[in-house]
Structure 1
């Protein structure tokens, strides 16, 4: 995906009010409308203007666009920063976009997906809100009470978009999975005409962990082992998000071997598994004694690690 500077396309500052964005779009849309413009690139420019306007006219999409950073250059290969949308609260109630290209397509997938997943009947006066929140993997093993910060895009009296913050105390249930939605009744948008408030749906994700990776309900761990532990086998202590357990390394294990600890993944019915991937680590030859040990190994083994390369 290529980055597009929507503000530059419309010729406005990033601090522009919503009315300024609308005026800029209308002026340029008249200039580059394919039916009346004599510019050779009028059709492409007109489509580009439409894409920029579809995002910037919507306060929620505009705030999401701004959250992804200002250091990007037009045409640069672009990926949203990790967890850029953590705590970003939105209703997804903006207009549907009229184009399907680039970043605009990305925003449509984000907002439309949430809106469709929890759509209420058309006659309701409640407005549901959505947000993505990141938790630690340990919270999924034990459950937890957490305070989360959410930021909701709002438009002030002068037409400027800003983020309104609020904090909520949330119960994280044991066994929650990435992608699961927690429903907070009555914590969404204010009801129309005095109706009840909508609900808030929190989509769960896991923060990056220095040791563990999550794959659905399974958890993966790269476990360093010494050469003699892999060759001779034995008992090793393995950390898990719920505490340490003992595991047997089979004799003759190779690097990369996967060992399963059944039921030690994320709790549930059924629970996931914890997969331990062996990573053989060589001790350093940083002393005369260590060098002598390596020399003894060299003489003891008739071993060529590159034999397969020679056919």
Structure 2
């Protein structure tokens, strides 16, 4: 018979607290519930998780299990210690009021059939139609870059299925207020606890609603993760001589100092002017686009000719040929 490491099954340490064990169980049970998981081994994993929790949630069973568990490794053949029957089985560990057929031979060899088993707190087992909470819902919410930069509150409307009783089902709109955290980025999700579907049984908790952030197009800025990008048109003399230019940012205009002899395509950084959360900083990057004015009058054309004489320059010299 194969020894089962219940701590490994729940992915907790051997000295984990009862609360840590409960949280681990709840997380794994939701993940591997056969009605939810697409994993081909979901049902088997779900049963293993329930069995492990049945032992580790009970102080007496856990103490008994721990008394020999350290001497065995998962995967090895297991035989209970010689005095196990007398020490633990004679007391008849109670496992609730349902059938034990879902538990392994290993469990049976330790604790016997008793009077069946009880579903862990807050859950029903798979063979009893497990559904501790309703299904999670997923949707998208479109926000502006300013909403992320400053943080915002939005009102969304969802169409919800409502049981009116007597077999009547209707779809009704429901408005929810959503807090947009400062510095949220595209693709992140906002969780609205308890705003998913209701559990199958009356009184069971609702699932959660997950809203994926989508940014609306901006007329001036583009965004890559937390960084904001702006293309800034400048004149040839601003680029050549240097200048201080008022530049738009999501938080308002700031002065940007162009160094003398700046070049077309050069990128300058405004630190901390991107999408900043409590722990992460985004920047704004300004790309210079030198715009050459048209020479329309004789005087303007003469000015360009004098520039060519005074500042002989061949930008194609590096091309060769």
Q: TM-score, normalised by structure 2?
A: 0.52
Correspondence for 1:124 among 102, 118, 132: 132
1:228: which partner in 2? 237
Post-superposition shift, 1:150? Answer: 4.6
Report SS of the residue matched to 2:149: helix
For 2:58, the equivalent position in structure 1 comes to none
Q: 1:272 aligns with which of 246, 264, 282?
A: 282
Q: How many residues align?
A: 189
Aligned to 2:265: 256
Q: Tell me the alpha carbon deviations over residues 219-278 of structure 1, each in whole angstroms, 9 at most, x when there is no partner.
A: 111111111111111211110011000011111111111111111111222321111111
Deviations 1:108-152 (A, max 9, x none): xxxxxxxxxxxxx97533211011222100111111122234568
Choose the corresponding residue for 1:144, options 124, 144, 152: 152
Deviation at 1:164, TM superposition (A): 7.6
- Inter-partner Cα distance in structure 2 for 1:266 and 1:203: 17
Shift of 1:309: 2.4
Structure 1 equivalent of residue 27 of structure 2: none
In structure 2, relative to structure 1, the CA distance for the partners of 1:167 and 1:281 (3 Å cut) is farther
Q: Distance in 2 between matches of 1:180 and 1:141?
A: 14
Cα gap change, 1:166 to 1:282, in 2 (>3 Å): farther
- C-alpha spacing 1:301/1:206, structure 2 compared with 1 (3 Å): same
C-alpha distance in 1, partners of 2:242/2:182?
A: 35
CA distance in 1, matches of 2:161, 2:304: 63
Q: CA deviation at 1:153?
A: 10
Distance 1:164 1:230, change over 3 A: farther
**Coordinate RMSD, CA, aligned:** 2.9
Picking from 134, 146, 152, the partner of 2:142 is 134
Question: What is the aligned partner in structure 1 of residue 208 from structure 2?
Answer: 199
Q: For 2:201, what is the secondary structure of its paired residue?
A: helix
1:279 & 1:234 partners in 2: Cα distance? 14
CA gap of 1:302–1:142, structure 2 versus 1, over 3 A, is same
Cα distance in 2 for residues equivalent to 1:188 and 1:294: 68
Query: How far apart, CA to CA, are the structure 2 residues paired with 1:95 and 1:263?
Result: 41
Q: Does 1:219 align with 2:228?
A: yes
Query: 2:311 maps to what in 1?
Result: 301
Structure 1 residue runs of 4 or more that deviate by more than 6 Å after TM superposition: 151-154
Larger radius of gyration: 2
